[in-house]
């Protein structure tokens, strides 16, 4: 692991500091006031003193630098504070929400990498062929679909018209299934959101794979392999795919992290109780602590994905290993 | 070999994800205590032919409702919205009086309500044999405790309801006497029919209700339903209270699903995943949904409002001629027809809804573009450079109109109004911003003492502001303590005088006359331009349950809808 040297570590530290600072600043730079959320109903009915009291209770009257310092302390101690909205510890809320988002993002990752890599390889292997042109056009078309629109379309077809799949939520409300029934219920509810996310991320994987393959196909060692008399099969799997996969893995890692962000829209369309929905509700109500904490999770996801890609790269591509 | 390692890592990751997802979720579903009713299996249910007489059939009646946005743990300190949050809260609790279908308060927990002549002393007799859902009896002490507790532990809306209460005393087992420091003719409407009575034996131990976290099983009230299950941002499950003092409710179980946006419920009611939408549906959905077979629409006038606000403290809106011209130039009927497809009542310039008994028909609006232009010409606002836009001291009469992006109807209103005002030489640029931003500009910090950061805005008030006509003082009074909802900064001593007199007028005849005069003054002074009162329209699956009762001004979300017809007031 020599590659992860000090300068790399320094980069990560800088990124973390900048990201955390932005996470803190963004909610406060937005116009809008968390008071309505904290005070709840009919906030306009409060007297000026009551309003001041609420602001004081949650520490929003403190100098901004103190709040900033407190935020760092909260990150360092792992105590992310309490939601303005529900008053519950944010740690608990995130622990409830994160698995759902991971399920969607993970499911989409598997499906989109499976189809993306295979179709990308087919396309590149027979570049300009019968499969390549329609695939390429189709993928570009898919990539340009707005996610909320695709989600609503799927709901309309599979839930409303065909009645095959549920249109909202992660589990049937108040059904209290257990065991196999619960598993089936979760799966049924996850299908449409996962399909939506997958359809949207497959083109990226496909295009990366195709491009990466084409690049490798032009390399000298492929010509050498063929000249040696290696079978086409062996060239494709032993040489081309093997060498083309590294950039795809990086792409997948990053894509996985970013699908957290994409989940905000998908989870809103499907009323899915994941982290994206949490962010949506927190931003609408200016729930500062929840916004900060969930942005932090997003930041961590991107950094971890980067780290994994950094670590995997030398394994996948020996040429990038440090001497 | 490396490839194998990579594969193993990915596989492990995926397995971990799935395992993690499966292990969550169940943790929240701590089922309620003592619940004899069986849970109906979710998923696709066969529509059962049930009327309000369903209580006699074997199958329990289960209704699945949809709301947009969560309401937290639904106790008096945690529920979020005035609608439908308060309405759902009141399924678990009772108030001393209860709205009937006309929106008038009727005796409920209080069997009788009497007042002295100047409306300062209210004497209530408590109904007998009312129990909280944990089996404890509801007594006059609970009522006294509730009033004191909400006052001491500032419970936003309920504390405000109780301002002006000087003392609460009990006499014997059933009599409660409430003394006010000034006459309040609307005390029954704003307080007695609004405040949930909470059990002393539970709340007396709670010193900090804002921070105290109630979970589902501690939401104890005397209401027709008990909240037995709550999963944040997902669902609520209410079970009927079989011992309810007005008789067991007609619906045995109510599941409320929390959606993230308002298109979700529309799809879910069509796919038969929910049975009723506890939110108003938009006008273009009314006919579409009504055309579907088991789906019916319950529609009626409501007291929410759509209006144009402007900053009356700044030129040129400080000039009454400009405000009057705007009020004359807008075509309210066109807005009702085009935006609401007819499902709204034309706005009265005098604020009061035409359905109300105290409405003054003399102030009805008529569009008069020529008159509006003449007003502006006379007041010296001319178009000197011939670009079609008049000028005032601060430059061209060109203004930004804010509207919130989450409400597409408001956006359409803004666009129509912009076209209408162009006809009188006022240019309006519509800016659609996110809700919190819009709120902060129009009502910074929810305190009018903070001023205003907008020129024009499309705005609206929730139903309670209109429901109690006396509250009009809050909207127009120049004194910020009284006119704390006076977002436009309007001030007129003549209006203030009547508005304040109205607040304490005990004689209904005098009060009605004052409201009539006030409407004329408001229509002339134009503190805001009222455009329309949108109808409430609610979609429900009539095959599952069709006992929905539309309360005038408030809609169908109330305990009345879920009780047997004979139990309704």
Q: pLDDT digits over B125-140, tens only? A: 999 999 999 999 999 9
Could you tell me if A60 and A132 lie in one domain? no
* Chain A CB within 8 Å of residue B307 CB: no
Which residue has better confidence, B451 or B160?
A: B451
CB < 8 Å to A39, chain B: 156, 446
The pairing of beta strand B398-404 with beta strand B427-433: parallel
Mapping DSSP to helix (H, G, I), strand (E, B) and coil, where does residue B395 land? strand
Taking an 8 Å cut-off on Cβ atoms, the answer to whether B44 and A163 are in contact is yes
Give the percent of chain B with pLDDT over 70.
88
Average pLDDT over residues B521-538: 95
Backbone angles phi, psi at B116, to 5 degrees: -80, 180
CA–CA min distance B149, chain A (Å): 16
Alpha-carbon torsion, ordered B1, B7, B8, B14, to 10 deg: 180
Q: Supply the pLDDT for residue A44.
A: 66
Measuring CA to CA, which residue among B146, B164, B176 is closest to residue B75? B146
- What is the number of other CB atoms lying within 10 angstroms of the CB of residue B14? 15
* Chain A CB within 8 Å of residue B6 CB: yes
CB < 8 Å to B13, chain A: 106
Quick one: pLDDT band at residue A3, thresholds 50, 70, 90?
low
Rounded to two decimals, the ipTM of the complex is 0.85
Strand partners, B180: B165
Q: CB-hemisphere CA count at 13 Å for B30? A: 6
Helix (H) or strand (E) holding B454: none
Predicted confidence (pLDDT) at residue B487 exceeds the cutoff of 90 = yes
The partner residue sitting opposite A96, judged by closest CB among B6, B14, B24, is: B24
Quick one: pLDDT band at residue A40, thresholds 50, 70, 90?
low
Could you tell me if A72 and A103 lie in one domain? no
Could you tell me if A276 and A203 lie in one domain? yes
| Token pair belonging to B67 | 């709301």
- Can you tell me the distance from the alpha carbon of B48 to that of B95, in angstroms, rounded to the nearest whole number? 33
CB < 8 Å to A192, chain B: none
Predicted confidence (pLDDT) at residue B271 exceeds the cutoff of 70 = yes
Q: Supply the pLDDT for residue B39.
A: 34
Q: Supply the pLDDT for residue B14.
A: 43
Which residue has better confidence, B33 or B429?
A: B429
Q: Which residues of B453-470 are buried (b: 16+ CB within 10 A; e: fewer)?
A: ebbbbbbbbbbbbbbbbb
| Token pair belonging to B187 | 């005390």
Q: Supply the pLDDT for residue A221.
A: 85
Q: Supply the pLDDT for residue B215.
A: 63
Q: Which positions ≥6 away from B306 have C-beta within 8 Å?
A: B335, B344, B347, B409, B410, B413, B458, B459, B460, B530, B531, B532, B533, B534
Q: Which positions ≥6 away from B299 have C-beta within 8 Å?
A: B286, B343, B535, B536, B537, B538, B550
Q: Supply the pLDDT for residue B26.
A: 35
Residue A245 lies in a domain: yes
The partner residue sitting opposite B64, judged by closest CB among A98, A173, A267, is: A173
Q: Supply the pLDDT for residue A173.
A: 87
* Chain A CB within 8 Å of residue B315 CB: no
Q: Supply the pLDDT for residue B221.
A: 93
* Chain A CB within 8 Å of residue B233 CB: yes
Angle at B82 between CA B78 and CA B85, to 5 degrees: 55
Could you tell me if A189 and A307 lie in one domain? yes
Give the percent of chain B with pLDDT over 90.
62
Number of domains chain A is built from: 2
**A39-53, A143-157, B218-232, range with the lowest pLDDT:** A39-53
**A4-8, B140-144, B150-154, B248-252, range with the lowest pLDDT:** A4-8
Residue A70 lies in a domain: yes
**A137-151, A211-225, B32-46, B238-252, range with the lowest pLDDT:** B32-46
Which residues 201-230 of chain B have a CB within 8 Å of chain A? 210-211, 213, 229
What DSSP character marks residue A181?
H
Best residue in A40, A161, A320 for a mutation probing chain B (most B CBs within 10 Å): A40
Helix (H) or strand (E) holding B283: helix B283-290
- Can you tell me the distance from the alpha carbon of B326 to that of B418, in angstroms, rounded to the nearest whole number? 11
Best residue in A265, A271, A309 for a mutation probing chain B (most B CBs within 10 Å): A271
Q: Supply the pLDDT for residue B406.
A: 81
Quick one: pLDDT band at residue B279, thresholds 50, 70, 90?
very high
- Can you tell me the distance from the alpha carbon of A22 to that of B476, in angstroms, rounded to the nearest whole number? 42
Q: Supply the pLDDT for residue A6.
A: 72
Residue A83 lies in a domain: no
- Can you tell me the distance from the alpha carbon of A111 to that of A39, in angstroms, rounded to the nearest whole number? 44
Could you tell me if A165 and A280 lie in one domain? yes
Task: Report how many helices (DSSP H) and strands (DSSP E) chain B contains, helices first.
Answer: 18, 20
- Can you tell me the distance from the alpha carbon of B143 to that of A168, in angstroms, rounded to the nearest whole number? 41
Could you tell me if A71 and A145 lie in one domain? no
CB < 8 Å to A103, chain B: 17-18, 20-21
Give Cα B96 to chain centroid, integer Å: 20
Quick one: pLDDT band at residue B3, thresholds 50, 70, 90?
very low
Could you tell me if A63 and A204 lie in one domain? no
- Can you tell me the distance from the alpha carbon of A170 to that of A190, in angstroms, rounded to the nearest whole number? 7
Residue A87 lies in a domain: no
Q: Which of A305-319, B371-385, B462-476 is modeled with the greatest confidence?
A: B371-385
* Chain A CB within 8 Å of residue B294 CB: no
Residue A131 lies in a domain: yes
Predicted confidence (pLDDT) at residue A233 exceeds the cutoff of 50 = yes
Given 3-state DSSP classes, what are the helix, strand and coil percentages for chain A, each rounded to the nearest 5?
Answer: 75, 0, 25
Which residue has better confidence, A54 or B234?
A: B234
Could you tell me if A114 and A175 lie in one domain? yes
Quick one: pLDDT band at residue A288, thresholds 50, 70, 90?
confident
**A197-206, B216-225, B379-388, range with the lowest pLDDT:** B216-225
| Token pair belonging to B449 | 């003492």
Q: Supply the pLDDT for residue A270.
A: 95
pTM: 0.83
CA–CA min distance A130, chain B (Å): 30
Residue A308 lies in a domain: yes
- Can you tell me the distance from the alpha carbon of A93 to that of A90, in angstroms, rounded to the nearest whole number? 5
| Token pair belonging to B143 | 């009522």
CATH of the domain at A216: 1.10.3720.10
Q: Any idea which residue has 């792992």 for tokens?
A: A78
The per-residue pLDDT for range B186-211, each reduced to its tens digit, is 899 889 999 999 999 999 988 877 76
Q: Supply the pLDDT for residue B57.
A: 54
Q: What is the DSSP annotation of A295-309?
A: HHHHHHHHHHHHHHH
B310 in Cβ contact with B320 (< 8 Å): no
Q: Supply the pLDDT for residue B166.
A: 93
The runs of H, that is alpha helices, within B129-279 are 140-152, 156-161, 187, 200-203, 263-270
Q: Supply the pLDDT for residue B153.
A: 82
The partner residue sitting opposite B81, judged by closest CB among A41, A95, A270, is: A41
Residue A218 lies in a domain: yes
The alpha carbon dihedral of A245, A251, A254, A260 has a sign of negative
Strand partners, B123: B114, B177
Q: How buried is A248 (Cβ within 10 angstroms: 0-12 exposed, 13-18 middle, 19+ buried)?
A: buried
* Cis bond upstream, residue B84 (ω within 30): yes
Strand partners, B302: B553
Q: Supply the pLDDT for residue B41.
A: 37
Q: Any idea which residue has 């005990």 for tokens?
A: B506
Residue A90 lies in a domain: no
How many CB pairs below 8 A link A and B? Answer: 215
The alpha carbon dihedral of A184, A188, A190, A196 has a sign of positive
Q: Supply the pLDDT for residue B250.
A: 94
**Closest-CA residue in chain B for A151?**
B264
Could you tell me if A66 and A115 lie in one domain? no
Instruction: For residue A58, give its domain range.
Output: 17-76
B232 in Cβ contact with B543 (< 8 Å): no
B429 in Cβ contact with B399 (< 8 Å): yes
The per-residue pLDDT for range A205-227, each reduced to its tens digit, is 999 999 999 998 888 888 888 88
Average pLDDT over residues B550-559: 90
Could you tell me if A283 and A169 lie in one domain? yes
Average pLDDT over residues A293-309: 87
**Closest-CA residue in chain B for A100?**
B21
- Can you tell me the distance from the alpha carbon of B170 to that of A194, in angstroms, rounded to the nearest whole number? 61
- Can you tell me the distance from the alpha carbon of B310 to that of B486, in angstroms, rounded to the nearest whole number? 11
Could you tell me if A109 and A144 lie in one domain? yes
Q: Supply the pLDDT for residue B32.
A: 34
Q: Supply the pLDDT for residue B45.
A: 38
Could you tell me if A68 and A205 lie in one domain? no
Look over chain B and give the mean of its residue pLDDT values, rounded to a whole number.
86
């Amino acid at each position: 692991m020599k590659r992860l040297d000090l300068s790399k570590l320094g980069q990560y530290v800088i990124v973390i500091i900048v990201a955390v600072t932005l996470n803190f600043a963004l909610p406060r730079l937005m116009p809008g006031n968390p008071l309505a959320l904290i005070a709840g109903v009919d906030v306009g009915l409060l007297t000026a003193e009551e309003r001041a009291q609420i602001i004081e209770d949650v520490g929003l009257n403190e100098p901004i630098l103190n709040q900033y310092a407190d935020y760092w302390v909260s990150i360092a101690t792992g105590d992310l504070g309490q939601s303005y909205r529900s008053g519950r510890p944010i740690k608990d809320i995130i622990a409830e929400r994160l698995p759902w988002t991971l399920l969607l993002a993970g499911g989409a990752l598997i499906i989109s990498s499976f189809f993306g890599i295979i179709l990308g390889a087919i396309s590149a292997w027979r570049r300009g062929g019968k499969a390549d042109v329609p695939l390429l056009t189709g993928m570009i078309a898919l990539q340009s679909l707005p996610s909320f629109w695709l989600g609503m379309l799927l709901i309309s077809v599979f839930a409303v018209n065909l009645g095959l799949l549920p249109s909202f939520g992660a589990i049937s409300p108040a059904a209290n299934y257990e065991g196999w029934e619960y598993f089936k219920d979760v799966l049924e509810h996850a299908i449409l959101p996962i399909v939506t996310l997958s359809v949207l991320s497959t083109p990226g994987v496909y295009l990366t794979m195709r491009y990466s393959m084409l690049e490798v196909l032009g390399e000298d060692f492929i010509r050498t392999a063929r000249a040696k008399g290696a079978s086409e099969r062996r060239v494709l799997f032993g040489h081309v795919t093997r060498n083309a996969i590294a950039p795809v893995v990086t792409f997948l890692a990053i894509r996985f992290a970013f699908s957290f962000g994409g989940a905000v829209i998908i989870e809103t369309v499907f009323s899915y109780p994941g982290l994206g929905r949490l962010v949506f509700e927190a931003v609408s109500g200016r729930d500062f602590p929840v916004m900060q904490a969930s942005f932090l999770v997003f930041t961590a996801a991107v950094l971890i994905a980067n780290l994994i890609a950094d670590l995997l790269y030398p394994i996948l591509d020996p040429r990038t290993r440090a001497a | 070999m490396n490839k194998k390692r990579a594969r193993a890592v990915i596989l492990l990751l995926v397995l971990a994800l799935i395992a993690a997802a499966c292990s969550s979720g169940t943790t929240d579903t701590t089922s309620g205590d003592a619940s004899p009713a069986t849970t109906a299996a979710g998923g696709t249910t066969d529509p059962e032919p049930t009327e309000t007489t369903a209580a006699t059939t074997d199958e329990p009646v289960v209704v699945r409702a949809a709301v947009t946005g969560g309401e937290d743990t639904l106790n008096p300190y945690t529920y979020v919205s005035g609608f439908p949050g308060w309405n759902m809260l009141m399924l678990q609790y009772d108030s001393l009086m209860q709205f009937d279908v006309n929106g008038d308060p009727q005796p409920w927990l209080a069997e009788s309500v009497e007042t002295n002549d100047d409306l300062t002393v209210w004497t209530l007799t408590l109904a007998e044999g009312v129990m909280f859902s944990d089996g404890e009896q509801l007594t006059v002490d609970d009522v006294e405790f509730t009033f004191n507790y909400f006052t001491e532990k500032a419970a936003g809306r309920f504390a405000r309801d109780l301002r002006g209460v000087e003392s609460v005393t009990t006499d014997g087992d059933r009599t409660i006497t409430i003394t006010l420091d000034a006459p309040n003719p609307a005390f029954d409407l704003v307080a007695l029919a609004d405040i949930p009575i909470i059990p002393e034996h539970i709340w007396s131990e709670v010193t900090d209700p804002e921070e105290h976290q109630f979970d589902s099983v501690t939401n104890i009230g005397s209401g027709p339903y008990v909240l037995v299950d709550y999963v944040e941002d997902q669902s609520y499950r209410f079970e009927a209270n079989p011992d309810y003092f007005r008789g067991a409710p007609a619906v045995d179980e109510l599941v409320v699903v929390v959606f993230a946006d308002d298109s979700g419920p529309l799809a879910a009611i069509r796919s038969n995943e929910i049975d009723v939408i506890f939110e108003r549906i938009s006008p273009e959905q009314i006919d579409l949904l009504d055309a579907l077979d088991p789906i019916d629409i319950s529609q009626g006038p409501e007291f929410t409002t759509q209006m144009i606000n402007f900053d009356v403290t700044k030129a040129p809106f400080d000039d009454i001629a400009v405000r009057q011209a705007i009020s004359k130039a807008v075509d309210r009927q066109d807005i009702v027809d085009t935006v609401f497809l007819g499902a709204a009542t034309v706005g009265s310039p005098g604020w009061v809804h035409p359905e109300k008994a105290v409405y003054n028909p003399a102030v009805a609006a008529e569009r008069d573009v020529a008159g509006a232009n003449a007003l502006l010409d006379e007041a010296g606002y001319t178009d000197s450079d011939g670009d079609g836009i008049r000028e005032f001291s601060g430059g061209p009469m060109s203004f930004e109109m804010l509207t919130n992006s989450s409400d597409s109807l408001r956006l359409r209103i803004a666009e129509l109004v912009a076209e209408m005002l162009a006809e009188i030489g006022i240019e309006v640029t519509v800016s659609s911003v996110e809700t919190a931003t819009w709120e902060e500009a129009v009502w910074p910090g929810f305190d009018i003492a903070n001023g205003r950061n907008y020129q024009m805005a499309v705005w609206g008030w929730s139903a309670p502001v209109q429901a109690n006509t006396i509250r009009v003082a809050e909207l127009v009074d120049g004194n910020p303590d009284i006119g704390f909802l006076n977002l436009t900064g309007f001030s007129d001593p003549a209006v203030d005088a009547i508005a304040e007199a109205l607040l304490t007028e005990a004689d209904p005849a005098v009060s009605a006359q004052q409201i009539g005069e006030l409407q004329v003054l408001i229509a002339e002074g134009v503190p805001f331009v009222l455009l329309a009162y949108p109808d409430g329209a609610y979609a429900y699956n009539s095959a599952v349950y069709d006992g929905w009762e539309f309360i005038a001004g408030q809609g169908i979300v109330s305990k009345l809808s879920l009780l047997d017809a004979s139990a309704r007031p």
